[in-house]
Structure 1
């Protein structure tokens, strides 16, 4: 029986492959455009990879879709509901922490809503996102250290912060209890950076 992680990987793979073919890009062309290796792209499309959030962002941006569109089937409805337990788990920590994408808007102005938990001793490192990305974080339980562009901010339960996500940043839990937080990510103009490249790729 397939696990939810395997089903998610297959859903993402099928969506990436379908969108790539819509653009009539070869594997090599799309891998170059997205800035990832051909091997990784093949593994993603086959549903055998466990790509990082960074890889998924590169793929979604190159396709002009936004990350939420990769993990859920396209729908015509104006309203979408993600039931408890049905979010897309796109990061898992070594001690049981999770990063779950709960909801998102369509491109080009993409807003993502995440549900995060970091178990004691866990750290999630994030590369700089696309220019203009902004993040809002609300710590619900525990304690959390958020490092943005080399500066560390210590948060306690109930604290919130906003920061630029287009620079390197990380979340760390150095305490003895699990930290849980909501994260909202705004990515403006998804796909725009690649529009000038598309004519050269075809």
Structure 2
């Protein structure tokens, strides 16, 4: 799995250090609580032992799909690892930047529900920006709603372009990507279910 490390940090994008540190610490704590070795969790999460060690130490640049696989192996979810502790009922939460690229593209996790599991995201893709996703488990879906710019959903069946005010629902148990082929930033809301 030596190429996994290269693939995880590909395309000049990265998770924020705050996100990486929070996720790594929570993964390590949950692993130890279960009494699992790094190797046991690595196998259950389908990630290399070296990558998992780097994630726990806050030194890796894991893909969102890698964090999701490890979360599922620990019987939790992506949002439980990524979001800060619950705020007081009257406190405003602005979300957590979990992915960003040098061009200004970023993914902000705004919140999540437990049952049924759903995540609410706000994405910004700079002109020419893109994000390559990994397939989710069967039955997973995403709802996208474009606020500004144009979003291209690169799907196995072909590209789907959404303009401001347009929405689409896609199955994410396939290879897919987000692209901004336009001249202005593409800003969209993303809701993930079943992942």
TM-score exceeds 0.5: yes
Matched, 1:32 2:39: no
Q: 2-side partners of 1:59 and 1:140: how far apart? A: 32
Equivalent in 64, 73, 91 of residue 99 of structure 2 = 91
Give how far 1:178 is off.
0.3
Q: 4+ residue runs of structure 1 moved beyond 2 angstroms?
A: 4-8, 72-77, 79-84
TM-score (norm 1): 0.83
Matched, 1:62 2:73: yes
List runs of 5+ in structure 1 lacking aligned partners: 189-202
Distance 1:76 1:177, change over 3 A: closer
Q: 2-side partners of 1:15 and 1:114: how far apart? A: 21
Q: Which residue of 2 aligns with 1:104?
A: 112
Give how far 1:7 is off.
2.7
Q: Which residue of 2 aligns with 1:193?
A: none
Aligned CA RMSD, in angstroms, stands at 2.1
Q: How many residues are matched?
A: 181
Distance 1:133 1:159, change over 3 A: same
Q: 1-side partners of 2:170 and 2:92: how far apart? A: 26
Cα offsets for 1:112-151 (capped at 9, x unmatched): 0000000001111111101111110000000111122241
Equivalent in 123, 132, 135 of residue 130 of structure 2 = 123
List runs of 5+ in structure 2 lacking aligned partners: 1-14
Q: 2-side partners of 1:81 and 1:55: how far apart? A: 31
Matched, 1:142 2:149: yes
Distance 1:75 1:158, change over 3 A: closer
Equivalent in 147, 160, 166 of residue 167 of structure 2 = 160
8 A contact 1:93–1:118 mirrored in 2: no
